[in-house]
Structure 1
């Protein structure tokens, strides 16, 4: 991704995790089935949404019937006419270069994010979705971004991407852990705290048909990173008891076939965010995150979205 395109994206008033998401696209590190198979992960190559083609980024974001329908619904299909489509990062780079208005940039990123999130619901939660629901979520996404407060530094016209001029950090601690039930499903738990160990956020997430403990750990850590980015925390110490995963991150190793592109994605987060660090702690020191992960696991098949983990944890502390 060239510097001009990145600065323009960073100036957009959209959540940080969405900016990182686009950065992942440009660097081809999204864990699509094509990317996972390149890491020797045994997975069916078909698109999990439509089953009509191999899930490359080009198929997922451009050629999948769901993607085409959402581009059409958003009224954006005309923007990409005539642009090269053989690699999606190049297509997106050229598309962002010709977009004349900020609201169109918002709409393009919203389309990409809704496609990716819907794909993940199918893969990780076994959910199916209808196009009316997808349209509704797309509209809600745009409404949320419209209401986002404008960064006063951005309002003065001074771009501050992380690699140029970091904003003053907010230091927090994020504990995470995974829990598995052999042969069925798994879950992750994360607890975000102040440096004084006061709980700020608690989240549980479920993963269906995944029972490899290492894979569950990296998925739970990725969810924890996403939540910290969503909350705008720029300095985070991640604590976990998965020593193998943590050692690989600290050594910037991402060539593990079991954890595949997800580990590569996490390593890129830590390389990109200088305020992120990770350290190993024993199970006794990671007890709270483990409690949340086990609770999320016990909720199957009830979705975690309807459970108040923070209230539950407060009642146990």
Structure 2
């Protein structure tokens, strides 16, 4: 049987040099199955959809990982704030920002000075989720 739904992001994820829990987190994020507050509120759970860290935005995947002030500070300290801002600039929905970052060409990622930028993005995203 041939692959009908091949997506290059899955190859990138499974080849990352990081713990399996991080890969599974990325997989869940890209499938839109993380229980963020917005998702829980939309499923009639009695929870405020506001971000518990900043209370100034709705906690969806994009906000939690990239737009919350706490997340922005983490990315800034890692020196990845510009690439994150570039990824968020285009009108990308939640999971699409993470997918865009992980699919960036190697030459675009290597100019940041890190050898394992994809792994850093994946692990930092997991950390932001875990830390919340």
Q: Could you say which TM-score interval applies, normalised by the shorter chain?
A: 0.7 to 0.9
Matched, 1:69 2:73: yes
For structure 1, list consecutive stretches of 5 or more residues without a partner in the other structure.
120-317
What is the RMSD of the two structures over their aligned residues, measured on CA atoms? 1.9
| 1:111 maps onto 2:124 in alignment | yes
Question: Taking structure 2 as the reference length, what is the TM-score of the superposition?
Answer: 0.81
TM-superposition CA deviations, 1:136-192 (whole Å, max 9, x none): xxxxxxxxxxxxxxxxxxxxxxxxxxxxxxxxxxxxxxxxxxxxxxxxxxxxxxxxx
Q: Which structure: greater strand fraction?
A: 1
Per-residue Cα deviation, 1:114-141 (whole angstroms, up to 9, x for no partner): 111111xxxxxxxxxxxxxxxxxxxxxx
Trace 1:122-271 onto structure 2 (pairs within 5 A): none
- State the 4+ residue runs in structure 1 displaced beyond 4 angstroms: none
Residues in 2 aligned to 1:108 and 1:114: alpha-carbon distance in whole angstroms:
10
Answer yes or no: is 1:10 the counterpart of 2:23.
no
Instruction: Give 1:82 shift.
Output: 3.6
State how many pairs are aligned: 119
Deviation at 1:64, TM superposition (A): 0.5
CA deviation after TM superposition for structure 1 residue 3, in Å: 2.5
Give the structure with the higher percent helix.
2
Aligned partner (choices 23, 28, 31) of residue 35 of structure 2: 31
Q: Between Structure 1 and Structure 2, whose CA radius of gyration is higher? A: 1
1:50 corresponds, among 37, 48, 54, to 54
Give the whole-Å Cα distance in 2 for the aligned partners of 1:22 and 1:14.
11
TM normalised by structure 1 equals 0.35
Shift of 1:93: 1.4
